[in-house]
């Protein structure tokens, strides 16, 4: 029983390991600074303006 549980726990952990390795492969660790700035940009100021106008008219 313990052997089985340990096996399962190892498998789960290996799953996370693989997720990490894929993340590295995709270059997520290459640049950790720019994405932090990028999320702060509005998608599109004009679309946003339209949305604001809409919500005002509603």
In the complex, which residues of this chain contact another protein (CB under 8 A)?
2-3, 6, 10, 13-14, 16-17, 20-21, 24-25, 27, 29-31, 33-34, 37-38, 40-42, 45-46
Nearest to 52 by CA among 7, 31, 41, 44: 44
Closest to another protein by CB, 45 or 57: 45
Closest to another protein by CB, 21 or 51: 21
- Is the alpha carbon torsion for 15, 19, 24, 29 positive or negative? negative
CA–CA separation, 48 vs 51, rounded Å?
A: 5
- Shortest distance (Å) from residue 55 CB to another protein: 20
């Amino acid at each position: 029983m313990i052997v089985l549980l340990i096996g399962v726990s190892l498998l789960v952990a290996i799953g996370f390991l693989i997720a990490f390795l894929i993340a590295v492969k995709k270059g997520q660790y290459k640049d950790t600074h720019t994405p932090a700035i990028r999320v702060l940009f509005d998608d599109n100021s004009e679309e946003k303006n339209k949305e604001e106008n809409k919500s005002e008219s509603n």
